[in-house]
Amino acid sequence: MNSQTVIKLVLTFVIYLVLQIVVLRNFVFFDVAFCFVYIACILLLPDEVDPIWVILISFLIGLLVDIFYNTAGVHASASVMIGYLRGYIIKFLFPTKGVENEITISLKDMGGERFVRYVAILTIIHHSMLFFVEAGGFQFFLITVLKIICSVIFTTFLIIILQYVRGN
């Protein structure tokens, strides 16, 4: 990765985090659909980033959101989970990928169906962990599942819209 790519990535992350913390924090539909667009910072990391760095970046992004949301590690743990599983999901969805043809994680390069599948799978994992940890277990199972479903749709939709806006 060259320095121009790193600078572009950092600026994108800052925009997503500011959008999450300032705008989307209180943007909730019917107390069940929450938008956590900050996970795009993790999902859109280039494929060549070392998995240890992905996990570390995931933790730091989740920790920043936890600080502003006052949620004591809930976002950090869910972010680390998708940071860890991200490489496996990429290998599962794109089994023919070799060293010579790295996957560029973007709507433009992956195509709509593949990108939506990739984002949706990791968003389901993130939101499931986030909402079940937040609920403290399975005692509020149905409302938690409703929150997961609505929030996954909302978050995935907004990440796709932001990809169109960015032109990626």
Q: What is the rounded CA–CA span in Å between residue 42 and residue 105?
A: 10
> Is residue 31 very low, low, confident or very high in pLDDT (cuts 50, 70, 90)?
confident
> How is the chain split into domains, by residue range?
3-166
What is the per-residue pLDDT for 46? 87
Alpha-helix residue ranges (DSSP H) falling in 19-106 = 40-43, 51-69, 74-93
Q: Is pLDDT at 161 greater than 80 in this prediction?
A: yes
What is the per-residue pLDDT for 48? 85
Answer for the pair 41, 15: CB distance below 8 angstroms, yes or no. no
Half-sphere exposure of 163 (CA within 13 A, CB side): 23
Q: Is pLDDT at 99 greater than 60 in this prediction?
A: no
Tell me the per-residue pLDDT of 104-137, one tens digit each, with 9 for 90 and over.
Answer: 787 777 778 888 999 999 999 999 999 999 998 7
Q: What is the rounded CA–CA span in Å between residue 126 and residue 124?
A: 6
Answer for the pair 64, 97: CB distance below 8 angstroms, yes or no. no
Structure tokens belonging to residue 49: 């980033």
What is the per-residue pLDDT for 20? 85
Q: Is pLDDT at 97 greater than 70 in this prediction?
A: no
Tell me the per-residue pLDDT of 35-94, one tens digit each, with 9 for 90 and over.
Answer: 999 999 999 998 888 999 999 999 999 999 999 999 989 999 999 999 999 989 988 888
Q: Is pLDDT at 29 greater than 90 in this prediction?
A: no
